[in-house]
Structure 1
Amino acid sequence: MKKLTAIVVGAGNRADVYSSHALKHPDELQIVGVVDPDPKRVEYFKDKFSISEENCYSSLEELLKRDKFADFVINGTMDHIHVKTSIPVLEKGYNLLLEKPFAVNEEEMKHLCDTADKYGNKIVICHVLRYTDFYRAIKDSILKGDVGDIVSIEMNEHVNYIHMCVSYVRGKWRSEEVCFAPMLLAKSCHDVDIMMWLMNHTRPERVVSFGSDFQYGPERKPDNAGNRCMVNCPLKDNCIYDCEKNYITPRRWRFYVTQPIGEDANCPEEIITESFKKENHFGECAWNFDRGGNVDHQAVIVNFENGATGTFTMTGGSARSERNIHIIGTKGEIKGIFEDQKFVIRTKNPKSTKEDGTDGYTEKLIDLKITGDMIGQKGGHGGGDQKMMVDLMHYLNGEEPSVSCTTLKDSTISHHTVFMAEKSRKTGKIIEL
């Protein structure tokens, strides 16, 4: 297999995770360039991946003045500039690994697809959940016919209250005005993609959706709450959103909360603490933020062309982060929880019926025995991140990709469904796809 070279455009956390494949497998990938307006991020990537000074840039325009000097680009920019930064890269002849969501509206999606068709680039979208052992095993079970034809898919994503607040209340994904993407797109295009993928090319026909912001916003701010947790809040000690309890001692979210002060996750606690008392918005009361009509929970119902249905519900503010799934088919069912890395396959079997008429099925437990980061903060996604990079190396080398590979064409189906679900939520109508 030919060793590939890549340029990172947008040197954020996700790009760092994907690029790290070059350190683990230097015979397969080398990072040869980096583009980011933040000089600290450029310097970090330069040092980590031994990138030459001449290949480090503060803007995409500077990079594009050069002739093509890598096989592909890893685009880890913010959601609302994915298309803007991808179009000139494709025109230059680069293949592309693009973080999801790859577009924030229908017009952008069409523009990117038209450009890719014109230039013939290979584009892979980072729907890494497809690569996890959990969802891949479920996909294989469906393909083997274990449950027969799918009648119904029920999926839930529960976003833990700390994760919800750091990213979607205090953070840069809190509203469409800030990140240009609704929460369903920013957080759950993963899950809608999984639904489409498990339906095995059965196209969605109609969608309806409901949701609201039930928990957050200035109008729900508790009486007597202060404006900053560590300055003037008498409710701090018992508040579940207290920035000190959530972000200072636990290191989980330090990458996010140090960005507003130009620091990284290794920043001393004293500097973080002081910033929370002054300018850092992660030190503000969680109820201070206007989320611009964004939701904290949303339900989506999809009707497929063969009459099957899919239901997905995203709920932010749960105690535990969890993705669960229940698939019912003509021959049986699959039910499992992603974080537990277990699911059961129940097959209809009249011979198993008890004397009282109950049961009537055989059950097989699939225990994948995987532990670790399941939400991707440290690059895990249940192992999906690294498996995607392995598949990408094969795909860009002209080999047949796995069933998990998500091309641009594949991803447009789930993105379009999300866009129309949002239209339904805002208009109260059933939307034809």
Structure 2
Amino acid sequence: MPHDFGDAFEPITIAVIGCGNRGRTYASYAIAEPTKCKVVAIAEPRPVTRKLMTEAHLVDKTLVFEDYKDLLKASAETIQTVGKRLADAVLVTVQDFMHEEVTIAFAEQGYHILCEKPMSTNLEACFRMETAVKKAGIIFGMGHVLRYSPYTRALTEVIRSGTLGQLINIVHIEPVGFYHFAHSYVRGNWAREKDSAFSLMTKSCHDLDILCHWLFPGIVTRVSSFGSLQHFRKDQKPKEAGDATRCLDCPHERDCAYSAKKVYLDPATLRPEGWPASVLVDGIPDIENVTAALKTGPYGRCAYECDNDVCDNQIVNVEFSTGATASFTMIAHTKLICERQTRIHFAFGEIVGDMESFTVTDFRTRKSTHHAPKPEGGHHGGGDVGLIRTFIEAVRMKDQSLLGTDVTDALRSHLAVFAAEKARLEGTVVDVVQFEKEMRATYGAAQ
């Protein structure tokens, strides 16, 4: 049964919808902090993944479902018979195209919601989600985890202090990583726009959001963008690979930067939680099941023989209402894996950071100060832990403001991403304020 908010000692109860990498990551907080929250229900179609999640959290078998619709139905019956939901909150960690339907369905039953990014891959759906969340009056968390790491919190504190004067410009880069991009955006679920969305949305909505966060209270006014798919195409395939379409059959495999054998069968990826090999199989990855997946599944394909079409490089230029500007670059071809590099320029100083530490230089004193916030465990520099902890506390206190954002704020940072892609495709500069007005009028969404 859901948490009684009058009892400060009862853990917040959560249902996990989708028990893949993101669902497991957020849910692990319940194991680390059992007095704060508890997983009491799950929905997951893959049998081994479902079984492992059930066992890890000791979920009652009557609250284990293959399909979220069955969980939703059981919840409706419980609400009707005893007047209570099955849990206090749900984690929406299903595939991107399902975020809208799952979020709206559980919002209508009154659940507080943490939705993995992106909010949706469809702008109209984002507006519908905003409407549903506002109507339900629930706590809504967005999976923009970069906001919640110790590094970002410390850096944001310096920005907000105003000690360096007016914030004038930010230069920000996301180095996706050469094999990470090949895994997710060439061979994986986010490779084709028709199946998911453009890569600026599926990979870098984080980054446009953090720029909006740092430049608050300014809002995005105009954007332009350029980008394309430069490398992961058949015409770039090494001649030595011949007609091979799978890495395990390729004579060039040993010398290929994007060899699936190198990426997935390296000992580092075969640990129980070893990403990215863990994505390939239902359960714990090992040599046998990963090799089998590479022989027949999508992740064993030649990176130059896939049907991918999303950009592997893109730049976005942003103007804010304060007059400040920002430039963002997303690039696949780097050794760094999502280790963002940032330079923030003020009237009287600058900040240079790399997601682990940052250096603040004051032009007036000519002094530089190095900051290395103590990292937390998990991915995104502790942002995953920071987000789920903050969400649980917001639900416990019934205080949306603890998250530092709300559903409309999240929608607006997504709007900037949609506008940037519109600018890239049309070769124009997009007025984002006007774009929002037009989209709200088109989709009947209130301001």
Q: TM-score, normalised by structure 1?
A: 0.90
Structure 2 equivalent of residue 284 of structure 1: 301
Structure 2 equivalent of residue 391 of structure 1: 390
Q: Please, which of 371, 374, 389 is the counterpart of residue 366 of structure 1?
A: 371
- Whether 1:425 aligns to 2:419 is no
Structure 2 equivalent of residue 357 of structure 1: none
Pairwise CA distance, 1:205: 0.6
Judge conservation of contact 1:257–1:282 (CA < 8 Å) in 2: no
Give runs of aligned pairs for residues 228-239 of structure 1, distance below 5 A.
228-231=246-249, 233-239=250-256
Judge conservation of contact 2:151–2:372 (CA < 8 Å) in 1: no
Alpha-carbon distance between aligned partners in 2 of 1:73 and 1:296, rounded to the nearest angstrom: 33
- Which amino acid letter does the alignment assign opposite residue 80 of structure 1? F
Judge conservation of contact 2:264–2:276 (CA < 8 Å) in 1: no
Structure 1 equivalent of residue 17 of structure 2: 9
Q: Please, which of 313, 318, 323 is the counterpart of residue 329 of structure 2?
A: 313
Higher helix share: 2
Pairwise CA distance, 1:364: 1.4
Give runs of aligned pairs for residues 373-388 of structure 1, distance below 5 A.
379-388=378-387
Structure 2 equivalent of residue 268 of structure 1: 286
- Which amino acid letter does the alignment assign opposite residue 27 of structure 2? S
Q: Aligned Cα RMSD in Å?
A: 1.9
- Which amino acid letter does the alignment assign opposite residue 348 of structure 1? F
Deviations 1:89-121 (A, max 9, x none): 111111101101011121011000011111111
Structure 1 equivalent of residue 30 of structure 2: 22
- Which amino acid letter does the alignment assign opposite residue 55 of structure 2? D
- Which amino acid letter does the alignment assign opposite residue 413 of structure 1? R
Pairwise CA distance, 1:195: 0.3
Alpha-carbon distance between aligned partners in 2 of 1:385 and 1:369, rounded to the nearest angstrom: 15
Deviations 1:4-44 (A, max 9, x none): 10111111111111111111111111111001222222212
- Which amino acid letter does the alignment assign opposite residue 229 of structure 1? C
Deviations 1:330-352 (A, max 9, x none): 221111112xx221111121xx5
Alpha-carbon distance between aligned partners in 2 of 1:298 and 1:404, rounded to the nearest angstrom: 29
Structure 2 equivalent of residue 347 of structure 1: 362
Q: Please, which of 103, 108, 111 is the counterpart of residue 94 of structure 1?
A: 111
Structure 2 equivalent of residue 216 of structure 1: 232
Higher strand share: 1
Give runs of aligned pairs for residues 10-409 of structure 1, distance below 5 A.
10-66=18-74, 67=78, 68-178=85-195, 180-225=196-241, 226-231=244-249, 233-252=250-269, 255-257=275-277, 259=279, 262-264=281-283, 266-276=284-294, 278-292=295-309, 294-321=310-337, 322-338=339-355, 341-349=356-364, 361-368=366-373, 370=375, 379-398=378-397, 405-409=404-408
Alpha-carbon distance between aligned partners in 2 of 1:69 and 1:369, rounded to the nearest angstrom: 37
Secondary structure of 1:317's counterpart equals coil
- Which amino acid letter does the alignment assign opposite residue 414 of structure 1? S
- Which amino acid letter does the alignment assign opposite residue 180 of structure 2? H
Higher mean C-alpha displacement, 88-97 vs 212-221: 212-221
Judge conservation of contact 1:204–1:305 (CA < 8 Å) in 2: yes
Pairwise CA distance, 1:165: 0.9
Deviations 1:173-219 (A, max 9, x none): 112123x2111111111111110000122111111110001111222
Pairwise CA distance, 1:283: 1.6
Pairwise CA distance, 1:271: 3.3
Alpha-carbon distance between aligned partners in 2 of 1:369 and 1:289, rounded to the nearest angstrom: 41
Identity of aligned residues (%): 31
Alpha-carbon distance between aligned partners in 2 of 1:427 and 1:185, rounded to the nearest angstrom: 17
Judge conservation of contact 1:124–1:405 (CA < 8 Å) in 2: no
Pairwise CA distance, 1:259: 4.7
Judge conservation of contact 2:224–2:316 (CA < 8 Å) in 1: yes
Distance 1:185 1:129, change over 3 A: same
Pairwise CA distance, 1:80: 1.0
Alpha-carbon distance between aligned partners in 1 of 2:21 and 2:293, rounded to the nearest angstrom: 22
Judge conservation of contact 1:394–1:401 (CA < 8 Å) in 2: no
Structure 2 equivalent of residue 355 of structure 1: none
Pairwise CA distance, 1:324: 0.8
Distance 1:213 1:419, change over 3 A: same
Deviations 1:77-97 (A, max 9, x none): 011110111111111111101
Distance 1:369 1:61, change over 3 A: closer
Deviations 1:308-358 (A, max 9, x none): 1111111112122331111111221111112xx221111121xx5xxxxxx
Alpha-carbon distance between aligned partners in 1 of 2:99 and 2:25, rounded to the nearest angstrom: 18
Structure 1 alignment gaps of length 5 or more: 353-360, 373-378
Pairwise CA distance, 1:402: 7.1
Alpha-carbon distance between aligned partners in 1 of 2:383 and 2:286, rounded to the nearest angstrom: 32
Alpha-carbon distance between aligned partners in 2 of 1:369 and 1:395, rounded to the nearest angstrom: 23
Distance 1:268 1:335, change over 3 A: closer
Secondary structure of 1:40's counterpart equals helix
Higher mean C-alpha displacement, 37-46 vs 47-56: 37-46
Secondary structure of 2:232's counterpart equals coil
Alpha-carbon distance between aligned partners in 2 of 1:118 and 1:228, rounded to the nearest angstrom: 50
